[in-house]
């Protein structure tokens, strides 16, 4: 890297970023060359403050000068549990600009599948298939990319993206070369080291045509930046001390130089000793101490903003911080002047009108962590009520409820159950699982405890069958599950046993439960499930007399309800497989 001075239009954080900008320029050249050209994926890796956000902002500027459409989003440490949060940021503005008929036309058959996850249509009452939703999101971006070519997608702080977004991103990255779109992803290395999120991020990196790891500024670049900011009279010892104090971290360097300007002392060797104290005031405990100097009200405002994390409006913060609106407006202005909050995002992720954001994620984290533990927990509880009262659903409030200490709160249990249902309806079973596991800690009242376990078992069925077995067996051993609910629980348990390679136990489970019921729809349903599992088992060890028993039971069925229709389907398939009379098979079917 030879360049020390950036171009005049470039941000200070872009010093010594020639190689990365060249990769961006090359990818944009390829994207804009032809509307049938291949897409590409660039990954920017770097520790906090090394200029990832600045590079994304410069990518946006260059892309827009070339006539590209640019959509952007960013992850958040306090919002990583909110499903589809980042992909909604990315796609919602474009989709909401369309009329409902246009959106349905662009998404086609995927509208009803991916639409609820994107928040552009209401979900149904049934649990959505996570893989189907993921496929729908991939298809949605593919179709929108054709409409909005040349399209650039920017995702900042991907290490804090929600798991559902990362799953989509990994799936999309596998085929990015087939899409006419440029995707640029920025993340910190090592922030997510295990689990599904780490696996998805690794898949994204593996699919990238360019993976750049950012390094700190050299002493020469720091000297150039210092003199460009403070003036050519900044002497060499002072510039060297700026580099030594910040370690060449671009964000810390820019913040430190801003504080030098505010302090109005001369950038000479005699003032170099003041730099360490100034730098401490810009980070961690120093930042918190500086916040406290702004006053109790401003500190409360900043705390409330950190609790909300997103959708930070003065009105909402005032309600959460229990202050009047005029006082809240004054606090917001103080925090903007102190470079703690801002109305715009350096990466180009524009908040809604009137909303605020923290200037940098490091500041948001420091402010959030500075809130005393007991007060932070209480504020999350209040935030859940505030966002609900302002028209947001249980799923939005759930991220706050997850932080509240257990306290035998029956209403909180019901709120978390409702949030779990909303999560399942959009294809986010892991988010539903977190809500229901938290509900169990409250704990639920004895009358609903078994139902919460049943709902938890349904949420984990596709991802953790062994856990589902434990939850459902515990629920069935408790009072509270009767009638259809109990039959549902037994059916789900048998499914989990099947997925867990416990086929014989699955058959025995439904057989034993069927014997407990009198003749009727519930018993027929369980018998149909038993015959279905036995049919799967028959490939290895045929069940003696199964076909005869199935034929006899099917004779009693006329197809008046689902259990009877299921038994007739099973009988027809069995008869066909055994080579029985074709006319009789057709009649049964």
Q: How far is CA 176 from the centre of its chain?
A: 20
Mean pLDDT of the chain: 89
CATH number at 17-213: 3.40.50.300
Quick one: pLDDT band at residue 400, thresholds 50, 70, 90? very high
When pLDDT is averaged across residues 369-392 and rounded to a whole number, the result is 93
Q: What is the pLDDT of residues 511-539, one digit of tens each?
A: 999 999 998 899 999 999 999 898 876 55
Higher pLDDT, 259 or 161: 161
Q: What is the pLDDT of residues 249-303, one digit of tens each?
A: 998 898 889 888 888 788 988 888 888 888 876 665 578 888 989 999 999 999 9
Which ranges in 186-235 belong to alpha helices (H)? 195-207, 219-230
When pLDDT is averaged across residues 106-126 and rounded to a whole number, the result is 88
In whole angstroms, give the CA distance from residue 137 to residue 134: 5
Domains of the chain: which residue ranges? 17-213, 219-282, 286-371, 504-589
Quick one: pLDDT band at residue 6, thresholds 50, 70, 90? very low
When pLDDT is averaged across residues 343-354 and rounded to a whole number, the result is 58
**Which residues have a Cβ under 8 Å from the Cβ of 439 and sit 6 or more positions away?**
412, 413, 416, 417, 420, 452
When pLDDT is averaged across residues 344-349 and rounded to a whole number, the result is 56
So what's the pLDDT on residue 475? 96
The percentage of the chain sitting over the pLDDT mark of 90, rounded to a whole number, equals 59
In whole angstroms, give the CA distance from residue 242 to residue 276: 9
**Sign of the dihedral defined by the CA atoms of residues 400, 405, 409, 410, in that order:** positive
Tally Cβ neighbours within 10 Å of residue 229: 18
Q: Does domain 286-371 have CATH number 1.10.10.10?
A: yes
Is pLDDT above 50 for 42? yes
Is pLDDT above 50 for 2? no
Q: Do domains 17-213 and 286-371 have the same CATH topology?
A: no
Q: What is the pTM of this model?
A: 0.86
β-pairing, 40-45 vs 181-187, is: parallel
Is pLDDT above 90 for 131? yes
Burial of 516 (0-12, 13-18, 19+ CB in 10 A): exposed
When pLDDT is averaged across residues 536-559 and rounded to a whole number, the result is 78
Residue 341's SS3 state is: strand
So what's the pLDDT on residue 273? 84
């Amino acid at each position: 890297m030879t360049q020390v001075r950036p171009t005049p239009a470039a941000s200070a954080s872009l010093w010594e970023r020639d190689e990365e900008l060249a990769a961006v320029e090359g990818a944009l050249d390829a994207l804009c060359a032809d509307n049938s050209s291949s897409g590409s994926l660039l990954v920017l890796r770097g520790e906090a403050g090394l200029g990832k956000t600045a590079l994304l902002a410069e990518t946006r500027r260059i892309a827009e000068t070339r006539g590209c459409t640019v959509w952007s989003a960013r992850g958040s440490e306090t919002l990583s549990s909110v499903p589809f949060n980042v992909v909604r940021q990315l796609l919602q503005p474009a989709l909401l600009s369309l009329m409902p008929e246009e959106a349905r036309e662009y998404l086609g058959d995927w509208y009803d599948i991916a639409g609820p996850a994107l928040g552009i249509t209401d979900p149904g009452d049934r649990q959505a298939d996570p893989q189907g939703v993921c496929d729908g999101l991939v298809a949605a971006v593919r179709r929108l990319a054709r409409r909005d070519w040349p399209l650039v997608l920017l995702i900042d702080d991907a290490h804090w993206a929600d798991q559902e977004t990362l799953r989509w991103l990994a799936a999309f990255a596998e085929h990015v070369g087939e899409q006419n779109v440029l995707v640029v992803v920025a993340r910190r290395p090592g922030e997510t080291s295990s689990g599904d999120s780490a696996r998805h991020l690794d898949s994204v990196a593996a699919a990238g045509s360019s993976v750049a790891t950012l390094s700190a500024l050299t002493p020469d670049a720091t000297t150039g930046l210092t003199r460009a900011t403070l003036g050519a009279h900044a002497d060499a010892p002072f510039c060297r001390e700026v580099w030594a104090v910040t370690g060449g971290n671009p964000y810390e360097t820019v913040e430190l130089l801003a504080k030098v300007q505010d302090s109005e002392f001369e950038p000479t060797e005699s003032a170099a000793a003041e730099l360490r104290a100034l730098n401490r005031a810009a980070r961690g405990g120093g930042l918190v101490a500086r916040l406290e100097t702004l006053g109790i009200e401003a500190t409360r405002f900043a705390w409330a903003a950190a609790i909300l994390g997103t959708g930070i409006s003065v009105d909402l913060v005032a309600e959460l911080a229990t202050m009047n609106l005029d006082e809240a407006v004054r606090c917001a202005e103080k925090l903007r002047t102190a470079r703690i909050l801002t109305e715009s995002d350096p990466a180009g992720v524009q908040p809604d009108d009137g909303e605020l954001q923290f200037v940098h994620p490091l500041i948001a984290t420091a402010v959030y962590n500075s809130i005393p533990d007991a007060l932070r927990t209480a504020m999350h509880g209040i935030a859940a009520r505030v966002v609900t009262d302002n028209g947001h659903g249980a799923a939005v409030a759930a991220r706050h409820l997850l932080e509240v200490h257990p306290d035998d709160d029956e209403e909180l249990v019901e709120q978390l159950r409702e949030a779990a249902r909303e999560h399942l309806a959009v294809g986010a079973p892991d988010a539903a699982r977190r809500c229901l596991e938290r509900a169990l800690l409250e704990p639920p009242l004895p009358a609903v405890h078994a139902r919460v376990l049943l709902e938890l078992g349904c949420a984990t069925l596709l991802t953790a069958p062994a856990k589902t077995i434990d939850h459902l067996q515990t629920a069935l051993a408790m009072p509270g599950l009767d009638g259809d609910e109990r039959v549902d629980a037994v059916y789900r348990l048998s499914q989990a046993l099947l997925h867990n390679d416990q086929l014989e136990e699955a058959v025995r489970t439904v057989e034993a439960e069927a014997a407990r019921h009198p003749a009727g729809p519930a018993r027929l349903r369980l018998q149909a499930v038993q015959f279905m599992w036995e049919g799967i088992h028959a490939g290895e060890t045929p069940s003696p007399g199964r076909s005869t028993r199935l034929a006899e039971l099917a004779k009693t069925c006329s197809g008046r309800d689902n259990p009877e229709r299921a038994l007739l389907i099973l009988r027809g398939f069995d008869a066909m497989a055994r080579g029985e009379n074709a006319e009789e098979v057709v009649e049964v079917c």
